[in-house]
C-alpha cells in the first residue's frame, strides 16, 4: 500500500481534487454532530442536573468516542474508508434519535447516558476514516496542508457553524428543536461523503491475512514505535482542555459574571472561527518554515498553556466584558492550531503503516473528550473552576516537554525539524 504521489493527482488549494467533497461532507456532518456542544451542559444543569452529572454524560460519550477513534484508522485500511464512513453515519443516527426521543425530551438521565454514548461512535468512524484517506492520497510536504484543511473542515462544522447556528436557532425553535435539526445536517453530510468522494478504495484493502495484521498493528504499534505512543499522549492533551471547558466554563461565566448562553456560544464560535483560519496557516508554516515538531511544541503546547489561563482570568480582570473575553478566546483559538501538524508528524513516523499510527492519533483525539470532562467532574468540587483550569494549563506545558522527544528520522526530507 503505497502513498499516491503528487504528480498523479490534481490538487485544489493544496488538497487532492478527488477528496474535495470529503472535506465538504466532513464540515456538514460535524455541524450536526457538534451543534449542542456549547450549550448542552448548561441546558441540562438548568433543567436539574448537577455539573458533575453533566460531566459524567460527556465523560461516557468521550469513552465511546475514544474507542471509535482508535479503530477508525485500522478499520479504514482493513475494510475501506467508504464502508467505515457509512457505518459511522448509521450509528450516529441511531444514537441521536434515541437520545432526543427517550432521554432529552423526558429529562431521563438514565437513558441519556447510554444513548449519548452510542452517538459517540459515529463521528470518529465517519471523519477519521476520511482522514486516513487524506493521509494516503497526500504526499510529502503537502501532507501538513492537506491535514490542515481537514481540521479546518471538522472544526468549522463542529464549533463555528454549529455554535452560531445554535445561537440563531435556539431562540426560534428551542433547544430540543435545534437538536432535531442535527439529523438533517448529518444525513446530508453523510450522503455527500459516501457517494461523492472519488478514488479507488481497493488500494487500502488487502487479503484476509493482511486485514488481520492491520487490526493487530493498531494495538501493537505503540510498543513497536514509542514515538507514536508519545504522539498519542500529546494528542490526548491537545483537546483535553477543549473537551473540558464547555462542561463548566459557560456555567461559571453565567453564575459569576452574568454572561448569557447566546453570548457564550458567540464567544466559543469565535474561538473556533479563528482556529480554523489559523489551522490552514499553521499547516503551511509547519510545512515551509518552522517544521512540524517545533510548531506543535511552541505554538500549540506552550501557547495553549498560557492562553488557557488568560481565558479564565480575563473576566476576573475585566468583569462582564464580552469584548475582552472574546479577544482572549480568539488568541486561544489561534495558538490551538499549532497542534495541526501533529497528525502529519506521527503518520510519517510509520510510512508503511499509516492506518495504525493514525489510529493512535485518532484515539488521542477521542480520549481527550473522556479525560477533559472527567477532570472537571472529579476536581470541580474540591478545587473549583480555577483549579481545574490550572490542571489543563499544566498538561499543555507537559505536552511541550514530550514533543522534545518526538523527531523524524534524519533522512526524512519533508521538513526541517529544528
Q: Where are the domains of the chain?
A: 11-403
Q: Of 31-35, 156-160, 371-375, which range is least confident?
A: 156-160
Q: What is the mean predicted confidence (pLDDT) over 104-113?
A: 93
Whole-angstrom CA distances from 263 to 42, 168, 174, 245, 273 are 13, 11, 16, 15, 15
- Provide, rounded to the nearest whole percent, the portion of the chain with pLDDT above 70: 87
- How far apart are alpha carbons 304 and 372 in whole angstroms? 15
pLDDT score, position 416: 43
Q: Which residue, chain included where needed, has cell 493514525?
A: 358
Q: Give 238's pLDDT tier (boundaries 50, 70, 90).
A: very high
Q: Give 399's pLDDT tier (boundaries 50, 70, 90).
A: very high
pLDDT score, position 313: 97
Q: Give 21's pLDDT tier (boundaries 50, 70, 90).
A: very high
Q: Of 121-125, 174-178, 197-201, 242-246, which range is least confident?
A: 197-201
Buried b / exposed e over 13-37, threshold 16 CB at 10 Å, is ebbbebbbebbbbbbbbbbbbbbbb
Q: What is the mean predicted confidence (pLDDT) over 109-124?
A: 94
pLDDT score, position 10: 63
Pull the grid cell for residue 203: 488500494
Q: Is the pLDDT of residue 206 over 90?
A: no
Beta strands in 164-305 (DSSP E): none
Q: Of 153-157, 255-259, 350-354, which range is least confident?
A: 350-354
pLDDT score, position 355: 65
**Radius of gyration over alpha carbons of the chain, in Å?**
20
- How far apart are alpha carbons 36 and 24 in whole angstroms? 20
- pLDDT, tens digit, 9 for 90 and up, residues 208-234: 456 556 556 666 777 788 899 999 999
Q: Of 11-25, 249-263, 379-393, which range is least confident?
A: 11-25
Supply the DSSP string of 8-48, one letter for each residue: GS-EETTEEGGGHHHHHHHHHHHHHHHTTTTTHHHHHHHTT
Q: Give 31's pLDDT tier (boundaries 50, 70, 90).
A: very high
Q: Is the pLDDT of residue 390 over 90?
A: yes
Q: What is the mean predicted confidence (pLDDT) over 268-273?
A: 88
CA 248 to chain centre: 19
- How far apart are alpha carbons 319 and 370 in whole angstroms? 31
Q: Give 141's pLDDT tier (boundaries 50, 70, 90).
A: low
Q: What mean pLDDT, rounded, does the chain reach?
A: 85
Q: What is the mean predicted confidence (pLDDT) over 320-332?
A: 96
pLDDT score, position 22: 93
Q: Is the pLDDT of residue 342 over 80?
A: yes
pLDDT score, position 134: 83
Q: Of 74-78, 255-259, 277-281, which range is least confident?
A: 74-78
- How far apart are alpha carbons 184 and 288 in whole angstroms? 39
Q: Give 310's pLDDT tier (boundaries 50, 70, 90).
A: very high
Instruction: Give me the CATH code for the 11-403 domain, please.
Output: 1.20.1250.20
Amino acid at each position: 500500500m503505497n502513498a499516491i504521489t503528487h504528480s498523479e493527482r490534481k490538487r485544489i488549494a493544496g488538497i487532492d481534487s478527488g477528496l474535495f467533497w470529503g472535506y465538504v461532507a466532513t464540515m456538514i456532518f460535524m455541524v450536526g454532530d457538534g451543534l449542542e456542544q456549547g450549550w448542552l451542559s448548561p441546558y441540562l444543569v438548568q433543567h436539574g442536573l448537577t455539573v458533575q452529572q453533566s460531566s459524567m454524560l460527556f465523560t461516557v460519550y468521550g469513552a465511546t468516542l475514544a474507542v471509535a477513534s482508535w479503530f477508525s484508522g485500522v478499520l479504514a485500511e482493513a475494510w475501506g474508508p467508504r464502508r467505515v464512513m457509512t457505518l459511522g453515519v448509521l450509528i450516529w443516527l441511531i444514537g441521536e434519535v434515541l437520545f432526543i426521543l427517550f432521554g432529552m425530551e423526558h429529562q431521563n438521565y438514565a437513558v441519556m447516558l447510554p444513548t449519548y454514548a452510542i452517538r459517540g461512535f459515529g463521528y470518529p468512524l465517519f471523519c477519521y476514516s476520511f482522514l486516513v484517506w487524506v493521509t494516503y492520497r497526500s504526499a510529502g510536504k503537502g501532507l501538513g496542508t492537506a491535514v490542515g484543511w481537514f481540521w479546518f473542515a471538522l472544526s468549522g462544522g463542529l464549533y463555528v457553524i454549529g455554535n452560531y447556528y445554535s445561537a440563531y436557532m435556539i431562540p426560534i425553535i428551542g433547544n430540543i428543536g435545534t437538536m432535531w435539526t442535527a439529523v438533517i445536517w448529518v444525513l446530508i453530510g453523510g450522503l455527500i461523503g459516501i457517494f461523492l468522494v472519488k478514488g479507488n478504495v481497493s488500494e487500502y484493502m488487502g487479503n484476509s491475512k493482511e486485514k488481520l495484521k492491520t487490526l493487530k498493528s493498531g494495538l501493537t504499534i505503540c510498543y513497536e514505535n514509542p514515538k507514536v505512543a508519545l504522539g498519542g499522549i500529546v494528542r490526548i492533551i491537545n483537546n483535553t482542555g477543549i473537551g473540558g471547558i464547555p462542561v463548566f466554563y459557560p456555567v461559571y461565566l453565567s453564575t459569576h459574571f452574568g454572561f448569557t448562553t447566546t453570548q457564550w456560544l458567540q464567544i466559543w464560535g469565535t474561538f473556533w472561527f479563528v482556529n480554523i483560519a489559523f489551522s490552514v496557516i499553521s499547516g503551511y508554516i509547519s510545512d515551509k518554515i518552522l517544521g512540524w515538531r517545533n510548531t506543535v511544541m511552541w505554538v500549540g503546547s506552550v501557547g495553549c498553556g498560557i492562553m488557557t489561563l488568560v481565558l479564565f482570568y480575563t473576566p476576573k480582570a475585566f468583569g462582564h466584558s464580552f469584548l475582552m473575553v472574546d479577544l482572549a478566546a480568539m488568541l486561544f483559538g489561534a495558538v490551538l492550531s499549532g497542534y495541526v501538524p501533529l497528525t502529519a508528524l506521527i503518520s510519517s513516523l510509520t510510512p508503511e503503516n499509516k492506518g495504525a499510527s493514525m489510529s493512535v492519533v485518532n484515539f488521542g483525539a477521542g480520549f481527550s473528550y473522556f479525560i477533559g470532562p472527567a477532570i472537571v467532574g472529579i476536581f470541580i468540587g474540591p478545587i473549583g473552576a480555577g483549579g481545574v483550569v490550572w490542571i489543563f494549563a499544566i498538561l499543555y506545558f507537559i505536552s511541550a516537554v514530550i514533543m522534545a522527544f518526538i523527531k523524524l528520522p534524519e533522512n526524512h526530507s519533508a521538513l526541517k525539524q529544528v
